Amino acid sequence: MLRTLVAVVACLTVLAIVQRVEDNDSAAATPGLTATFTGKAFGAGAGSGPPVMTVRGLRQGGVTSGTVTVGNPGPGTRYFWLSPGRISERLGAGGGRLTTAVALTVIDVSDISSPSVIYRGPLRHVGARPLGFLDPGARRSFSFVAELPSGGRSPAVPSVDPYRGAAARIGWTWHSIAGRPDVPAPEPATPKKRDSRPPALTFSVPRRQQLLERRALALTVRCSEDCTARPRATMSTAARTWPLAIASAERGVAAGHSLTARFSGVQTTALRRAMLGGRTTQVRVAVEAYDRSGNRRRDSHVITLRPRR
C-alpha cells in the first residue's frame, strides 16, 4: 500500500524521535492517550527513551515505514492532536539539508481499505495536526514515511551526493484534552400555516375546431396550483339542452387539464342542423377543483359554437 504513496531515496539517515504521550488536561482524572510502535523503522530509544524511527542505507526507490497506534483507555471521550517538537540535523558531505529536502507523509491507516493522508510536505513545516475525537477504548493507527527526491547533486562537486551522511532528528508529542464533539441542538419545528386559499381556474379553447368531423370539443382548464378537476358539460340549442359526456385526460396537474366534451350521434345531428341554419350553439363547462389541502373552487365557462365563415 505504501509503495503507491511515497518513495524514499538512498544515502539517507533520518532519526525521528517519537516522544512520550502527554496529557494537557491536568485537571482531568483520565490517563490520556497510549501509544504503541510497530514496524522495522522503529527501534529502541537511547536508554529508556521512546522508540526511534530510523531510515538509513536505502537505495533509490526504497521505502521504510513505521506505524504508531494511539488509543484512549477511557473513561471519557478525548480530543487529540499531533505536534512536532525540536528538529535537529547533521549536514551531509555535500552540504545537503534533510530538513529542507525531505518530505514527510503521515497517513491514517486505521481503515486500511481507505487510508487518509494527514500530512504530506516538508519535514520542518508539519505543524500541529488535529486528529479528532477518540471514544473510550477506540484506537487509531498512523504510518510515518520519509521521502527524499532523487537527482540531488552538489553544485561544487557533482560526483558527491550532498546528503551522504546527513541526519535529521524530530520529536513528536501526542496531546489530548477531555471533551465530546459538539452536537447542534435540533431547530424547533415551525408549524406550517394551513393553506386555506382555493385554486384559481382559467379556461382556454382553440378558436377553430373540426367539431362535426371529430364529434368532440377540446378545451383546457388550468389551476393556479396542483389540483384535481371534476368537470361537467351541457350543450344548448334553440330546441333543448343535452348533457355531454366529458373526459379529462390529465388530473392533478397544475399545468393544465385537457378536457374533451363528446357529442352523441343525436347531438351531432342537432349541431349540424344549427350550423347549416346559421344558428349558434352554446356549450357550458362547469368545473369543480380541489387542491391538496382540500380547498374547493367551482367555476364555469360558456363556449359559443358558430359555423366557420
C-alpha separations of 122 from 59, 79, 145, 167, 210 in Å? 21, 26, 12, 15, 83
| 78 pLDDT more than 80 | yes
Grouping H, G, I as helix, E, B as strand and the rest as coil, residue 105 is strand
217 and 112: one domain? Answer: no
Which one-letter amino acid corresponds to residue 252? G
Alpha-carbon span 259 to 62, nearest angstrom? 79
171: nearest Cα among 53, 17, 306 = 17
244 and 174: one domain? Answer: no
Does some domain include residue 188? no
Q: 289: pLDDT confidence band, cut at 50, 70 and 90?
A: confident
Neighbours of 241 (CB within 10 A): 10
Average pLDDT value for residue range 249-268: 75
Does some domain include residue 297? yes
Does some domain include residue 125? yes
224 and 85: one domain? Answer: no
Cell numbers 360558456: residue: 302
Q: 99: pLDDT confidence band, cut at 50, 70 and 90?
A: confident
Domain count of the fold of the chain: 2
> Which DSSP state fits 8?
B
Alpha-carbon span 56 to 14, nearest angstrom? 7
Alpha-carbon span 152 to 7, nearest angstrom? 15
269: nearest Cα among 302, 288, 242, 229 = 242
Does some domain include residue 249? yes
Q: 86: pLDDT confidence band, cut at 50, 70 and 90?
A: confident
Domain that holds residue 61: 2-178
Grouping H, G, I as helix, E, B as strand and the rest as coil, residue 211 is helix
Which of 7-11, 157-161, 177-181 has the least mean pLDDT? 7-11
Task: List strand residue ranges (DSSP E) for 91-186, in order.
Answer: 103-108, 116-122, 129-134, 139-147, 167-178
Residue 111 sits in a domain of what CATH number? 2.60.40
Which of residues 178, 211, 228 is at a domain's end?
A: 178
**So what's the pLDDT on residue 30?**
35
| 74 pLDDT more than 60 | yes
| 53 pLDDT more than 70 | no
Q: 139: pLDDT confidence band, cut at 50, 70 and 90?
A: very high
The residue ranking higher by pLDDT, 72 or 124, is 72
Does some domain include residue 95? yes
69 and 146: one domain? Answer: yes
| 109 pLDDT more than 90 | yes
Does some domain include residue 191? no
Does some domain include residue 123? yes
**So what's the pLDDT on residue 195?**
83
The residue ranking higher by pLDDT, 285 or 257, is 285
The residue ranking higher by pLDDT, 219 or 29, is 219
Cα end-to-end span (Å), the chain: 85
289: nearest Cα among 203, 165, 217 = 203
